[in-house]
Structure 1
Amino acid sequence: MAFPESVAAPLSCQRHLFEMPADVCYLDAAAWSPLPRVVREAGEAGILVKSRPWEHPRTAIPPWAERARRAAARLIGSAADEIAIVGAISHAMAVAARNLTLAPGGRLLRVADEFPSLRFAFDRLAERQGLVVEEVPRPPDGNWTEAVAAALARPGAAPLALATLTPLHWTDGGLIDLDRLAPLVHAAGAALVIDATQAVGAAPVDVARWRPDFLAFPTYKWALGPYGLAFLYAAPHRLDGAPLEENVGNRPPAAGARRYDRGELYDPVALFMAVTGLEQIGEWGVPAVSARLRGLTDRLADGVAGLGLAPMPSSLRAPHILGLRPRAGLPDDLVDRLQRDRVYVSARSGALRISPHVWADEDDIARCLAALSRACRGIT
């Protein structure tokens, strides 16, 4: 599986590191995470740098960019020189699309209901280069991996030119096993682009195993960092491409993926916060985080089954997100009902998406189940 069972030392609940009231049950990390206190404090330190620039030499900021690059690289198993610092996943994907030249008539394969950041730039690429876009429909049994594998091998299909995939479906945590699928893409001679937004920080990601051409992730979700900052991995054979924008920092002699860096890179607020969040995740270890979250979502899955809500089997879902799709559909006001009980989750494309992070504990799971029991009466 893409997310193997962890043998790391157990990680305890880290709620004490966050400014989260006892009566708040926040299970919406897949939307965006609250900041640990140390990340907020890092941001405040960055504000002081900009507020009092005469007290802080600007030459002290570039090393923070390199520290962020190294911390991001460690989370995905890459070299720091293979990491660019960009403004968003949409920025990263625009860079990737700009640097792919594919054979006309080939297929661009992706899953249905994909997040816009992984669609828009590649829709334009398909138009420019004459590709055929194929979307794998949502499988009735929830097994995205088998559905994508079947699409890759479909008899009579146009040659595969590009697959744009994620380690899990963003709407409900359905597993898309890249350990299995990435080799199939490579065997077809196609390019592979990965949006790891919903994985990095909460589940193992390894570019050495998956060998993508490009992979990107932001900091504002599972990596416990700020909005407006993301990282783009570029494979060694993709380090000579063209940036989306040109600035003093990414022109020659910029080395490696730095050629794709965004302008106005040296923002002390964003960099200080991103480094602090990334290094905290690295200190815990992603396997330990993943194992803890698997325990919490498994408890949720067991509990909601008793409410008549049928979650996907553990083998078909990522460790950190539980998606629920009642046969009768979600009531339009379900999320609002839960919020009245101070339980915070999301509804995405017909799924109730529940996504705990390291601040959550067994009491949060019990509160969520109790609120669901009240809110979901009559749903089957």
Structure 2
Amino acid sequence: MTLTNQKHLFSLDESITYLNGAAYSPTLRSSVQRGIEGINLKASNTHLIKGSDHFTLPQKVQKLFAQIINEPDYERIAIISSVSYGMAVVAHNVHRLPNLKNKTHIIQIQDEFPNNVYAFDRVCQEHHLVYKTIAKPEVLENRGGLWNQAVLEGINNETAMVVMPHIHWIYGVKFDLKAVSKRCKEVGALLIIDGTQSVGILDFDIQKIQPDALICAGYKWLLGPYSIGAAYFGEFFDEGVPVEESWMHRKDSDNFAQLIRYERAYRPKAQRYNMGEHSQFIQVPMFEDSLTQLLAWGIENMQSYCSEIIEKPLIALQELGCWVEESKNRANHLLGISLPKEINNQSFTDKLAANKIIVSNRGVAIRVSQNIYNSEADLWKLVEVLKNSL
């Protein structure tokens, strides 16, 4: 399937060139309508809400997300409020790692997103662990490849856990998660993946990667609303400790007539890790709609589309003195672009904004992140502003 531009399905301002999907995605028109229906349901038609809706509605989202990541068992998917919530689940369960007393560190990569650092501060204090940060190589040639190699070399028998993304949120480097997972299993370390900047736009196969957990915010590449996301939790977490003790987490909680017969047993697998009130009658239908559309487009088709629209403009940017990771070490939807030395990142980002071109300044690079609602012409507009700035 060859995709064409899908901007007509979004409520984007035609005067804006939006190249900032890694910050917030725009919302599908159809998802907005589902959200309005959810608002009206809660506001005026609460008599139509059935007890079973608390479970059947989120199950639809769990099944769709499971399909996106090639996980056959939807009960391994939890609906979460945020990445920090998902990472809190992980932090609550590190103490269950066998031979934790023989472990000394948690591996992270340099310039990681703050959520994935703060989540384990208390864990480190309680279990006498330290962060072991794998530094970004100083050289530019094959930087992504060397960084991947350094991650693998950093994992050893003293590693308790590796916490890392699929795609670096600033530089766009793609990490070899299959190789990292294999190494983690060799040394008895957990592998926790933040898939926020990849899942929904780049192929992610749970069966091939086999992480212990995959945590994803919903409002970026999954095209969902804010304050909802999805997470996969593997077998290590099956008997673990949830962040919240919701009535909905418990076995047979869909039997409303029996709720005061307090049940200590949890629902199976990842269902104990759903956030409280995870039915979310407004956000869940919106999320269901966006995930359905992603599957209809096809994740690989979306990645190919992004590759097509950046190819020629990216060559032009490089000819103007910009640097970006080699194609073998990155994806096509998120580019960390180093500008020519004479160009100030913030000034250039401001100049783009003045021309109604929206990107992110991430200090050491500008981040340009395109999706199915963009066109090659959008990238050429950025090239033209740079050309006029030199």
TM-score, normalising length from structure 2?
0.89
* 2: CA distance, partners of 1:297 / 1:180: 28
What is the alpha-carbon distance in structure 1 between the residues aligned to residue 318 and residue 377 of structure 2?
Answer: 18
- Corresponding residue of 2:126: 128
Residue 331 of structure 1: which of 326, 334, 345 is its match? 345
Map 1:40-119 to 2 at 5 A.
Answer: 40-59=32-51, 60-78=53-71, 79-101=73-95, 102=97, 103-104=100-101, 105-119=103-117
- Equivalent residues of 1:297, 1:322 under 8 A apart: no
1:370 partnered with 2:384: yes
Pairs within 5 Å for 1:14-25? 14-25=6-17
Offset at residue 276 of structure 1 (A): 0.4
Instruction: Give the aligned residue type for 1:232.
Output: A
Name the counterpart of 2:149. Answer: 149
For residue 173 of structure 1, what is the aligned residue in structure 2?
Answer: 172
Moved more, 295-304 or 200-209: 295-304
The 1-side partners of 2:320 and 2:26 are apart by 29
Matching residue's letter, 1:58: K
Matching residue of 1:5: none
In 2 relative to 1, CA 62–53 (structure 1 residues): closer, same or farther, beyond 3 Å?
farther
Corresponding residue of 1:186:
185
Say whether residues 1:202 and 2:201 are aligned partners: yes
Runs of 5+ in structure 2 lacking a partner?
251-264
Moved more, 123-132 or 141-150: 141-150
Change (3 A) 1:336 1:58: farther
1:346 maps to 360
Residues of 2 paired with 1:362 and 1:42: CA distance?
Answer: 30
Secondary structure, in 3 states, of the residue corresponding to 2:277?
coil
Q: CA deviation at 1:362?
A: 1.6
- Structure 1 consecutive aligned stretches of length 4 or more whose deviation exceeds 4 Å: none
The 2-side partners of 1:261 and 1:96 are apart by 13
Matched residues in 1 for 2:232 and 2:154: separation? 30
When structure 1 is superposed on structure 2, of 294-303 and 353-362 the one drifting more is 294-303
**303-312 or 44-53, larger mean C-alpha shift:** 303-312
Give the distance between the partners of 1:175 and 1:302, measured in 2 at CA. Answer: 20
Q: What fraction of aligned residue pairs are identical, expressed as a percent?
A: 28
Q: How far, CA to CA, are the matches of 1:118 and 1:145 in structure 2?
A: 22
Bigger mean CA deviation after superposition, 89-98 or 15-24 = 15-24
Matches of 1:145 and 1:132, distance apart in 2 = 26
Q: Distance in 1 between matches of 2:344 and 2:123?
A: 35
Determine helix, strand or coil for the equivalent of 1:263.
coil
Q: What SS is found at the alignment partner of 2:120? A: helix
CA–CA separation in structure 2 for the residues paired with 1:221 and 1:171: 14
Bigger shift: residues 314-323 or 192-201: 314-323
Q: Which is further off, 39-48 or 55-64?
A: 55-64
Q: Paired residues, what number?
A: 367
Task: Say if 1:145 and 1:177, in contact at 8 Å, map to a contact too.
Answer: no
Q: Which segment is superposed worse, 208-217 or 18-27?
A: 18-27
**1:209-248 correspondence to structure 2 within 5 Å:** 209-248=208-247
Conservation of the 8 A alpha-carbon contact between 1:149 and 1:184: no
Distance 2:313 2:86 in 1: 34
